[in-house]
Structure 1
Amino acid sequence: MKRISLALAIAPVIAVLPMAVPAVAQADQSDLTKVNAYIRAVTTMTADFTQTDRNGQNLTGQLTLKQPGKIRFQYQKGVPLLIVGDGKALTMIDYEVRQVQRWPIGNSPLGALLDPSKDLSKFGKVVPTGDPTILSVEARDPKHPEYGTITMIFKRDAGSPAGLQLYGWVALDSQNNRTAVRLTNQRYGAAIADSTFRWTDPRPRGRAAGG
């Protein structure tokens, strides 16, 4: 490109920039408010999920969510894994090797989705998608980058809570392990017992836990 044509191309952008930036920022703030409203409006949700890890391996299962902080990933038959959030902590149970790992929900990328009291405007940002029907929001704790990052993906849907349908998310943990989750058959508002978020400890002298 010739230098003169480059200057002509830049000039109109500079002319409109002072008006464009506030407009974009205002739109982004509005979208963050909508995501906050969605998280607070969803008291319960069930969905089918497909989970893809960084190696491209796919696992499927049933997701059950109950706010605040309760979530269960029940994997497909034959997969001896279970992930449960009881409102305070996330627990991953591997029944094949009888191991249990547990960490605070707030220390996980999923904390952004499971804590309705959080204000996304303070730790989230809208990620451009190029599709006006899709809203993508990246959330991370700037004070604790070791907690990882979650990018939540929504479809704009007037018939869903706050006008949004959670399509899935991509989580990146502190070890750069990338996990993508896609949801289908979302259902909202069903009564879900707290016992759903209990689990059986596979370790020696195991006991019911998580509730």
Structure 2
Amino acid sequence: MNGKNMTRSFRFALTLGSASVVLAPLALSTGAVAQSAPADSGVAQVQAHMKAVQTMTAAFSQTDRAGRTVTGTMTLKRPGKVRFAYQKGVDTLVVADGKSLYFIDYSVRQLSRWPIGNSPLAVLLNPDKDLARVAKVVPGIDPRLLLVEARDPKRPEFGAITLAFARTPSAPAGLMLQGWVAIDSQNNRTTVRLTDQKFNAPVADSVFKFKDPRPQGPRMR
């Protein structure tokens, strides 16, 4: 397994390259076709979930189209902050610090940066974003899942993201984020699955700082 290639594919899925998104691999198939939730109620429930979740931590597994998988931990703090820390041996990091999304490759001492708004994940990071303008409920194969696709029709170059939520009464607003799948413009699919989700525990802003890998010296961002 090439961890560097895996995390680079994740970088592309998070930024401008995403052309379309599907979520069939995450579905818990029951052999029945789910009835589509009313668009307004489903999107409103997702909006309520995001407003109810100030922080979230989870374990993740990330799989590319060839079936190669890497794992790690995700830490999210709204608004605007997320950190994907990869397993030992994968010398990369993905961090959003409230303003920008960074892809850091310590093995080659490189850093790439994009405005958070240019990332499909922006829909997860801003609880005040009007989802009704950019999101819709899409059909699924399992009635226990709510699938919501978000894309900005005015900015199609920013890509799209379809999120899978399990209907879980004990979770905030009755939803538990299970993951997402992105397909970039080169038809490279990246599937992210979440487990061990925890909500609203204190998370320090320092979690979203990182060491700049570039040769100028050891700076913290």
Q: Normalised by the size of structure 2, how large is the TM-score?
A: 0.80
Separation (CA, whole Å) in 1 of partners of 2:69 and 2:36: 37
The aligned counterpart of 1:129 is: 140
1:180 positional shift? 1.4
Q: Offset of 1:63 from its aligned partner? A: 0.4
Q: What is the RMSD computed on CA atoms of the aligned residues?
A: 1.6
Which of 47, 66, 77 does residue 58 from structure 2 map onto?
47
Among residues 164, 170, 174, which one is paired with 1:153 in the alignment?
164
1:205 equivalent to 2:202? Answer: no
How many angstroms apart in 2 are the aligned matches of 1:85 and 1:129? 30
Stretches of structure 1 that go unaligned for 5 or more consecutive residues are 1-23
Instruction: Please tell me whether residue 181 in structure 1 is matched to residue 185 in structure 2.
Output: no
Alignment of 1:77 with 2:88, yes or no, is yes
Q: Deviation string for 1:172-198 (max 9, x for gaps)?
A: 445554321100000111111100000
Shift in CA distance, 33/155, structure 1 to aligned 2, threshold 3 Å? same
Count, aligned residues: 187
Q: For residues 118 and 173 of structure 1, do their structure 2 counterparts lie closer, same or farther at Cα, with a shift above 3 Å needed?
A: farther
Query: Which letter does structure 1 place at the counterpart of 2:124?
Result: L
The code of the aligned residue for 2:145 comes to I
Q: Does 1:29 align with 2:29?
A: no
Q: Select which of 169, 179, 201 maps to 2:180.
A: 169
Aligned equivalent of 2:108:
97
What whole-Å deviation, never above 9, does each CA across 1:116-161 have from its counterpart, x for those lacking one?
Answer: 1211111111111132110000001111111111000000000000
1:94, distance to aligned residue in structure 2 (A): 0.3
Greater relative CO (CA pairs within 8 A, separation 6+) = 2
> Judging changes above 3 Å, is the alpha-carbon distance between structure 1 residues 177 and 146 closer, same or farther for their aligned structure 2 residues?
farther
- Which structure 2 residue ranges, 5 or more long, are not aligned? 1-34
Whole-angstrom distance in 2 between the partners of 1:150 and 1:43: 21
Q: Which amino acid aligns with 2:136?
A: K
* Amino acid of the structure 1 residue aligned with 2:111: V
Identity %: 58
Task: Return the letter of the residue paired with 1:191.
Answer: P
Q: Secondary structure at the match of 1:185?
A: strand
Aligned to 2:3: none
CA distance in 2, matches of 1:45, 1:67: 9
TM-score (norm 1): 0.84
Q: Pick the structure with greater CA Rg.
A: 1
Relative distance call for 1:26 and 1:201 in structure 2 (3 A) is closer
Which has a greater percent of helix?
A: 1
Whether the 8 Å CA contact 2:62–2:190 is kept in 1: the answer is yes
